[in-house]
Chains A and B, each alone.
Chain A
Amino acid sequence: MPGETKKLLIADDSRLSSHILSEIVEGIEHCEVVAMAKTGEEAIELFKRHKPDLVTMDLSMPGIGGMEAIKQIIAADNGAKIVVISSLGGAQEKLLEALEAGALSVISKPFDEDKVVAVFRKLLGLI
C-alpha cells in the first residue's frame, strides 16, 4: 500500500557494515530497519519473527553462513525478497549460487550508497 512503511532485516556479522546499511535504510522515505542479525541462524529466526519486506544478506558470516540462510528463508517463504551484499558478490559462482537459491540481486562490497538505495527502492516498489 502506498505510504506504508517497509521493513528491512539486515544480516551482517560486521557492526560497521550493519551500521552503514541501517543509515542508508533510515535515509529512504517509508523504510525502517526492524532487526539485525549477525549469523545465518539469527537471520532465519528474525525473518520468521518480523516478516520483513526486504532482507540484506552477507554471505561470509559465522555459523551456517548467508547462502544457507537464503535457502532456508526461501523454503519458509517463497516470496521473500533478499538482496546479497557481500565482499564475495563479485565472484561469478557465488553470485549464481545466490540467485539460484532465490536472491533477487547481488551487490559487492565496497558499495556505492546511491547504487544500494536504487536497488532497495526498486525491490521495494518505491519507484
Chain B
Amino acid sequence: MTPKFFGQYLLEQGILQRNQLMEAIKYQRSKTRKFGEIAVSRGYLTPDQVEKINQEQRKTDKLFGEIAVGKGLLDEKRVKEIITIQQNAHIYLGEAIVETGLLTRDRLERALEGFKKEQGDEPGDFVMPHGVDGCEEFIRSSMDITQKVFRRMMDVLIKFGRPEERTELTNHAFLSELQFKGDASHHYLLTVSMDIALEIARKAYKSPDMEYEIETVRDAVAEFVNVVCGNMTAWLLTRGVKMDINVPRTWEKSEMPGLKSSKGTRLIAYPAGATSGDISMGVVLK
C-alpha cells in the first residue's frame, strides 16, 4: 500500500538475495548513459565543457541540459535528441535481472504482478490550493500517504476537506511536526484529538484498554508521522523529488508552540473528517 522500490519487494519476498540485487543494479547502471557522455560522443560538447557543466550542476538543482542551453552550448533540438538516446539506452531493473540470468522472464512477470498488487492504487484526486506551483507533488503525497497510513495502521478512513491558507493551524490534543530537507525544506504537520491519539497508541500496542500515559501516546503519534513522512519521501523520489526527513517533534496541547506562517512561508491546512475524532493536516511550504 505504501510506495516501495521493486528491488525491496524482491528482497522482502526472498526472491533475490542482497548480493543478487546489487549485481542486477550494477548491471542496470552500466547500461545507463550519462547526458554529457552522449553529448561528447556526438561531438556536441567537449569533455572540458561537460566537466564545467557538471561542476555547476552540483551547486544547483538544474538539469544538465538546462545549464547547457543556458550557456548557449546546446539548443533545444539537440537536448531532445540526447534525451531520446538516453531513454533508449535505459533498462528497467526487471530487464537487468533477466539479462543477468537471476530470474527467468516468467518468474519476473509473476514477481511484478505481486508487486503491483501490493502497491495498490495511484493517489486519488485532491483539491489543490491556488498558487502552489512546484509543490503539488508534496501536497498530493502528504494527503494520499496520510490517508493510506490511517487506513493501514488504524483501519480508519479519513476524508479531507477543502484546503485553506491560514496563518495558524487549529491545534487539537497533540501536534507533530516534521521538517523535510533536500530539494525543498517543507514541513508536514499533523494535529489529532485525544481520541485519535489514543486510538493510534492502542492499535499500535494492540492494547484496547491501554491507559493514557502522555509519553507513550506522544511517542505513538510521533512514530505515526515518521511513517507517513518516510513513505512520502519514497513516493516523491519516484517523481524525481529528492528529500530526506528529520526526526519529528511532537507536543501535547499544554506545551504546544503556536505554529504560525512566517515571511516567505505558506501554511496550508487540510481539515479532515474521521468518525472517531478530529484530525487536521497541514503543510508549511518554503
Tell me which of A16, A89, A110 contacts B201 (CB under 8 A): A16
- The secondary-structure label for the interface of chain A is mixed
Tell me which of A16, A88, A104, A110 contacts B219 (CB under 8 A): A16
Per-residue CB contact flags for chain B residues 221-232 toward chain A (1 = under 8 Å, else 0) read: 011001111110
Tell me which of B2, B216, B228, B237 contacts A92 (CB under 8 A): B237
Residue of A14, A16, A95, A122 with most chain B CB atoms under a 10 A cut-off: A16
A17 CA to B204 CA in the complex, in Å? 9
Cβ–Cβ contact B2 & A110, under 8 A:
yes
Residues of A with C-beta under 8 A to B153 = 110
Q: A22 → chain B, closest Cβ, in Å?
A: 12
B286 within 8 A of A: no
Tell me which of B5, B223, B237, B246 contacts A16 (CB under 8 A): B223
Q: B189 → chain A, closest Cβ, in Å?
A: 17
User: Given A16-B220, A60-B245, A105-B11 in contact, is the A90-B5 Cβ separation under 8 Å?
Assistant: yes
A96 within 8 A of B: yes
Cβ–Cβ contact B18 & A99, under 8 A:
yes
Residues of B with C-beta under 8 A to A1 = none
Residues of B with C-beta under 8 A to A109 = 226-227, 230
Residue of A14, A89, A90, A105 with most chain B CB atoms under a 10 A cut-off: A90
Cβ–Cβ contact A86 & B25, under 8 A:
no
Cβ–Cβ contact B14 & A86, under 8 A:
no
Cβ–Cβ contact B231 & A87, under 8 A:
yes
- Kindly identify, within residues 13 to 28 of chain B, every residue whose CB is under 8 Å from any CB belonging to chain A: 14, 18, 21-22, 25
Cβ–Cβ contact A91 & B201, under 8 A:
no
Cβ–Cβ contact B22 & A110, under 8 A:
no
Residues of A with C-beta under 8 A to B7 = 92, 95-96
A17 CA to B215 CA in the complex, in Å? 14
Number of interface residues of B (CB under 8 A): 41
Per-residue CB contact flags for chain A residues 39-83 toward chain B (1 = under 8 Å, else 0) read: 000000000000000000000111000000000000000000000
A94 CA to B153 CA in the complex, in Å? 23
Residues of A with C-beta under 8 A to B149 = 110
B205 within 8 A of A: yes
B12 within 8 A of A: yes
Q: Which residue of A lies closest to B200 (CB)?
A: A16
Q: A18 → chain B, closest Cβ, in Å?
A: 10
Cβ–Cβ contact B21 & A99, under 8 A:
yes
Cβ–Cβ contact B234 & A118, under 8 A:
no
Q: B206 → chain A, closest Cβ, in Å?
A: 8
Q: A90 → chain B, closest Cβ, in Å?
A: 3
User: Given A60-B245, A108-B231 in contact, is the A90-B220 Cβ separation under 8 Å?
Assistant: no
Residues of A with C-beta under 8 A to B220 = 16
Instruction: Identify the 8 closest CB pairs spanning chains A and B, nearest first.
Output: A87-B230, A90-B234, A92-B5, A91-B234, A14-B223, A90-B4, A88-B230, A87-B227
Point out residues on B near A: beta carbons under 8 Å: 2-5, 7-8, 11-12, 14, 18, 21-22, 25, 149, 152-153, 201, 204-205, 215-216, 219-220, 222-223, 226-231, 233-235, 237-238, 242, 244-247
9 A–B contacts from the bound complex (CB under 8 Å) = A16-B205, A17-B223, A60-B247, A87-B245, A88-B233, A88-B234, A91-B234, A95-B7, A115-B12
